[in-house]
Amino acid sequence: RKSRKAKAVGVKKTKGMQKLDTQFQCPFCGHGTSVECRIDKKIQIGEAFCWNCLERFCTQIHALTEPIDIYAEWIDECERANNS
């Protein structure tokens, strides 16, 4: 008797997680993609800075912090300063 050969079933590839942006619009000068966020996990500091108007924002980070978190915190801090 002949044994049946199993047909190879193609494995569906799932879409990976999309990478989050690391460049954003500056809240001060409004220039698009001029704000870059950098994370230094050794000293636990996150920094967002605009290379167009040279504004900076630094904050403490933790292991799960992403660049979008630093930018969002900067925007929140700007709104708090404007409302005060």
Are 65 and 44 contacting, i.e. CB atoms less than 8 angstroms apart? no
CA distance to 8, 35, 40, 74, 76, per residue, from 79 (Å): 57, 17, 25, 9, 5
| CB half-sphere exposure, 39, CA atoms < 13 A | 14
pLDDT at 21: 75
Identify the structural domains of the chain with CATH numbers, from first to last: 24-83 (2.20.25.190)
The pLDDT tens digits of the residues spanning 14-54 come to 777 777 777 899 999 988 889 999 999 999 999 999 999 99
pTM of the model: 0.74
